[in-house]
């Protein structure tokens, strides 16, 4: 089916990624696991100063949801502005960079701009093919439903969309905004997608996560997040296919759509619920030496998936596009991509 402007709606934390290759001592110094996503605490303040001084630091527009809608736009190519993005930034240099990068990616970004807090940043600490992400939300944490989402001109863009995607990360910022969008999707039989995003979401933001869950048509996550979610929900299994099944069967508002659960597992098969069964989808082969950095692989998978979903293609096709996009992104630094996709 043809796509149109604003068919895809995303809302989340717009962050400027600051990525650098670090060593184990650096991780140990700040108490970081090699492969993790956390929110910055006071003890990480110095980390941001230190990482900027690294010899090969790179700046990229980031934020999980924003990455995904950008990749979806890249996969679709034309028309431009297929994706809308909402989030909060500061009135500062980093904020200007994010605006410029969104425009270059042809994403229709409508930021809520405020000057209480500076634009959020995310330190991507790269060791080998692992990445430890430390997010300092700052401005991203200041998103206000009544100041932005509720405005008629903005809500019209929400109503225009057919597919919605919000990463679980945004549950720490504005669960009320997520619920408003999720209920709109459910009431109008549109597709609402969410991501488990990181283990800490299932652990410490369980209540808002489970408030939104009945409205979730498609749930994404990786193997670690799936395991944590299962543990927190008392599923009493560490079998990923069982976890997918049990997650699919959680209560759901819109009965017209059966929930689809999609769990990626790095280089191992992607697991997805297809009707009553759980199917494994092998990822594309890649030589270990071609992997530059895995930061953004999960976001890219979702972006590729969404690009086919908005065109109402089959789940198999959506997953194939997700695998393609992730395969492209892991060959590059950050969540960046070549000029045009080569996906058929």
pLDDT for 295 equals 72
pLDDT for 311 equals 97
Decide if 299 is catalytic.
Answer: yes
The two structure tokens encoding residue 282: 């092998």
Its sign, for the CA torsion 5, 272, 321, 211, is: positive
pLDDT for 2 equals 79
**Secondary structure of residue 26 in the 3-state scheme:** helix
pTM of the predicted structure, to 2 decimals: 0.93
The two structure tokens encoding residue 4: 């149109």
The two structure tokens encoding residue 123: 């330190």
Could you write out the DSSP letters of every residue in 113-166?
EESSSPPPEEEEEEETTEEEEEEE-GGGGG--IIIIITSHHHHHHHHH-SEEEE
pLDDT for 212 equals 98
The span from the CA of 328 to the CA of 15, in Å, is 22
Catalytic residue among 108, 238, 299, 342: 299
The two structure tokens encoding residue 188: 């109008």
CATH number of 8-14+62-119+138-330: 3.40.1190.20
Nearest-5° Cα angle at 71, 289 to 140: 105
Beta carbons within 8 Å of 72's beta carbon, 6+ residues apart: 8, 82, 83, 303, 304, 306, 307, 310
CA distances from 65 to 7, 193, 196, 310 (A): 15, 11, 12, 16
**Which segments of the chain have a pLDDT < 50?**
none
Determine phi and psi for 323, rounding to 5 degrees: -65, -40
Query: What is the number of other CB atoms lying within 10 angstroms of the CB of residue 189?
Result: 11
The two structure tokens encoding residue 52: 């900027």
| CA dihedral of 201, 206, 211, 216, whole degrees rounded to 10 | 50
Nearest-5° Cα angle at 299, 100 to 145: 65
Half-sphere exposure of 210 (CA within 13 A, CB side): 13
Cβ 98 vs Cβ 16: under 8 Å:
yes
Nearest-5° Cα angle at 304, 80 to 237: 145
Determine phi and psi for 312, rounding to 5 degrees: 60, 40
The span from the CA of 6 to the CA of 146, in Å, is 21
pLDDT in tens, 150-186: 999 999 999 999 999 999 999 999 999 999 999 999 9
Paired with 157 in beta bridges are: none
In sequence order, which ranges of 36-112 are alpha helices (DSSP H)?
A: 45-52, 64-76, 93-104
pLDDT for 334 equals 67
Determine phi and psi for 6, rounding to 5 degrees: 65, 20
CA distances from 162 to 110, 155, 309, 312 (A): 18, 13, 10, 10
Q: Is the peptide bond before 113 cis (omega within 30 degrees of 0)?
A: no
């Amino acid at each position: 089916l043809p796509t149109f402007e604003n068919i895809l709606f995303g809302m989340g934390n717009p962050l400027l990624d600051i990525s650098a290759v670090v060593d184990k001592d650096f991780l140990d110094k700040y108490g970081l696991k090699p492969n993790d996503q956390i929110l910055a605490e006071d003890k990480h303040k110095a980390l941001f100063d230190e990482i900027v001084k690294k010899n090969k630091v790179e700046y990229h527009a980031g934020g999980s949801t924003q990455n995904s809608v950008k990749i979806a736009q890249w996969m679709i190519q034309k028309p431009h502005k297929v994706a809308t993005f909402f989030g909060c930034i500061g009135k500062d240099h980093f904020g200007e960079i994010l605006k410029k990068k969104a425009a270059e990616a042809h994403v229709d970004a409508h930021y809520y701009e405020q000057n209480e807090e500076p634009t959020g940043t995310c330190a991507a600490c790269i060791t080998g093919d692992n990445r430890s992400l430390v997010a300092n939300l700052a401005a991203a944490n200041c998103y206000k439903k009544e100041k932005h989402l509720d405005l008629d001109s903005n809500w019209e863009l929400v109503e225009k969309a057919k597919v919605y995607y919000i990463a679980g990360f945004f549950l720490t910022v504005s669960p009320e905004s997520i619920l408003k969008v999720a209920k709109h999707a459910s009431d109008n039989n549109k597709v609402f997608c969410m991501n488990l995003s990181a283990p800490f979401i299932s652990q410490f933001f369980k209540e808002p996560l489970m408030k939104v869950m009945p409205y979730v048509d498609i749930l994404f996550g990786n193997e670690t997040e799936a395991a944590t979610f299962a543990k927190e929900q008392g599923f009493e299994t560490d079998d990923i296919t069982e976890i997918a099944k049990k997650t699919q069967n959680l209560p759901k508002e819109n009965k017209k759509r059966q929930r689809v659960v999609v769990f990626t597992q790095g280089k191992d098969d992607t697991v997805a619920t297809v009707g009553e069964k759980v199917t494994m989808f092998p990822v594309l082969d890649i030589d270990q030496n071609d992997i530059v950095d895995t930061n953004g692989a999960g976001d890219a998978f979702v972006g590729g998936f969404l690009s086919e979903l908005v065109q109402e293609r089959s789940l198999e096709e959506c997953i194939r596009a997700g695998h393609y996009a992730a395969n492209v992104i892991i060959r590059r630094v950050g969540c960046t991509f070549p000029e045009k996709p080569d996906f058929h």
